[in-house]
Amino acid sequence: MTFTPHGKHLIAGEWVAGDATFSSSPAHGTAHDFSVGTPDHVDAAAQAAEEAFWSYSQTTRKDRAAFLHRIADEIEARGEAITEIGMQESGLPEGRLQGERGRTIGQLLLFADHILKGDYLDQRHDSALPDRAPAPRPDLKMVQRPIGPVAVFGASNFPLAFSTAGGDTAAALAAGCPVVVKGHSAHPGTGEIVAEAIHAAIRACGIHPGTFSLIQGSKRDVGTTLVQHPLIKAVGFTGSLGGGRTLFDLCASRPEPIPFFGELGSVNPMFLLPDALSNRGAAIAVGWAGSLTIGAGQFCTNPGIAVLIDGQDADAFVTAAAEALGKVDSQTMLTDGIAQAYRIGRDRIAGTSGVREVLATSCEGRQATPNLYETDAQTWLNSRTLREEVFGPLGIVVRAKNCGQMVEIAKRLEGQLTCTLHIDDADTAVAQILMPVLERKAGRVLANGFATGVEVADSMVHSGPYPASTNFGHTSVGTLSIRRFLRPVCYQNMPEALLPR
Ligand code: NAP
């Protein structure tokens, strides 16, 4: 089944064309025209979302679970067409798009199960103590309630699982919040067909059409108007530090500030402790090369830095990593802009004094090939550039003089999504010194693994101190992410008939 996009926005159940259009720039296949979103489209979608909130927020958990199931079914029914247009627009391979569709459906079903269990409501009850002295205690009941319309910015690097019907949308809809998606301009056709699936589910389940809207974008005023719209009550975002920070600041400076749940940049350092390095450095190097280059390195959990102690074992690790990376073919990046940003980042690292080139490859256009550099701990500590994310398959090995310098590096890290320890038994004492530092720095700390591949589960935390995310108390992956779109309400002496269903 081939899908030809019509290029319109979906606003409150209607496909709406704009006056102007922009052209998609697929990695391969035919470009299509899409309507350019405007502040008027944003206003119409936000008004409809607010209207929908009054009925959608009052739906039962069972009804919302059925709705999430139906969205999953509608996506699956369009599976082949979604994969086809997703591959064209993103340049990602078929297997990856199929896997991402499975993940997207899995997230919707996970949230359906999660809300049916009801634990997320965190219900509390302090019974009345009418005879308590000196003052009686009223009857207090607390429950989490949906916050209102939520804006979602689709991510370029996950056209399905972090976009139109991705984790943010699934969490918000599960919570009882209508969603307005700002489609990513890198995959507008993929966004359109997934929006079509949600639209079909809305009709099938008899949900208010304002519960979901998609506004296609290529102009910044769609995003800026959306986060400042007075009816929008929270924002979910995955993308660049620069874009995320701009939108975060706009949310904070509104007359009524709202939470901006931004998942931004991270270099995801790995610390290779001496015994692990000595016993299995070459195997870790091969695993690292795989993690660093999967999906052309376009993962927020890409482990960009390996910290180890200088010496022969470090030399062997670098040689093994270079050999493994040297075998990786060039890969297509998500957009021309991201490919260009990768080369700029690479040149910035290569041009930093004290950095040595280990594997330097050249690539053109939308292609990317791996690059590997190494430096000493002092150079890394002195250079802000070396601590910044390069989005793509680029690794830096940092050679420390001793374990003390490793701890110094850990302390200098900015907030991270992940930090990883490679450890064997004899490394435990050093690892115990590093752990209190790493757990202050990252949302997820791993032992003997690689950070790419984020399990969607109850215990997952995909977040971290700034700049990894703008709100370290939450996560954008896993069932805990629903808490972003809820707020606690206390009901004092409230008759049963007036409590939420
Ligand atoms: P992005 O440029 O931050 O864009 C993300 C979304 O925000 C897009 O919808 C974009 O609109 C919008 N946006 C960005 N800046 C804005 C602004 N100032 N005002 C209003 N809207 C704005 O991210 P990207 O396109 O996904 O990738 C670009 C860079 O982001 C990459 O090179 C990489 O460094 C980083 N990145 C990081 C992660 C991560 O998980 N850490 C993931 C993806 C990308 P348009 O569609 O109109 O551009």
Nearest ligand 1 atom to the CA of 221 is 20
SS3 per residue for 447-492: ECCCCCCCCCCCCCCCCCCCCCECCCCCCCCCHHHHHHHEEEEEEE
Ligand 1 centroid, distance to 440 Cα (angstroms): 27
Which protein residue has the closest C-alpha to ligand 1 atom 17? 243
User: How far apart, in whole angstroms, are the C-alpha atoms of residue 15 and residue 10?
Assistant: 5
Homologous superfamily of 9-20+32-264+469-498: Aldehyde Dehydrogenase; Chain A, domain 1 (3.40.605.10)
The answer to whether the Cα torsion of 428, 429, 432, 434 is positive or negative is negative
Q: What local confidence, expressed as pLDDT, does residue 217 receive?
A: 82
With the most atoms of ligand 1 within 8 angstroms of its CB, the residue from 156, 181, 268, 463 to mutate is 156
Is 243 touching ligand 1 by the criterion CB < 6 Å?
yes
Cα 361 to chain center, whole Å? 29
pTM: 0.96
226: part of which helix (H) or strand (E)?
A: helix 220-228
Q: What is the mean pLDDT of the chain?
A: 97
300 lines ligand 1 (CB under 6 A): yes
- Residue 195 alpha carbon to ligand 1 centre in Å: 20
Kindly give, in sequence order, each residue whose CB lies less than 8 Å from that of residue 403, ignoring residues fewer than 6 positions away.
273, 274, 309, 430, 433
Both tokens of 487, joined, read: 């707020």
Catalytic residues: 263, 300
pLDDT at position 111 is 98
| CATH homologous superfamily for the domain 270-447 | Aldehyde Dehydrogenase; Chain A, domain 2 (3.40.309.10)
Domain with CATH 3.40.309.10 in the chain: 270-447
CA-nearest residue for atom 10, ligand 1, is 184
Query: 238 CA to middle of ligand 1, Å?
Result: 7
State the Cα–Cα distance between residues 349 and 466, nearest whole angstrom.
Answer: 22
The answer, yes or no, to whether any atom of ligand 1 lies below 6 A from the CB of 238, is yes
Q: pLDDT tens, 35-78?
A: 999 999 999 999 999 999 999 999 999 999 999 999 999 999 99
Q: Please, where in the chain does CATH 3.40.605.10 lie?
A: 9-20+32-264+469-498
Question: Tell me, what's the pLDDT at 362?
Answer: 83
* Positions in the chain whose pLDDT score sits under 70: 1
Q: Which residue has the tokens 């719209």?
A: 229
Looking at residue 18, its pLDDT comes to 87
Q: Is 262 helix (H, G, I), strand (E, B) or coil?
A: strand
Q: What pLDDT score does 501 carry?
A: 79
Rounded to the nearest angstrom, the distance between the alpha carbon of 236 and the centre of ligand 1 is 12
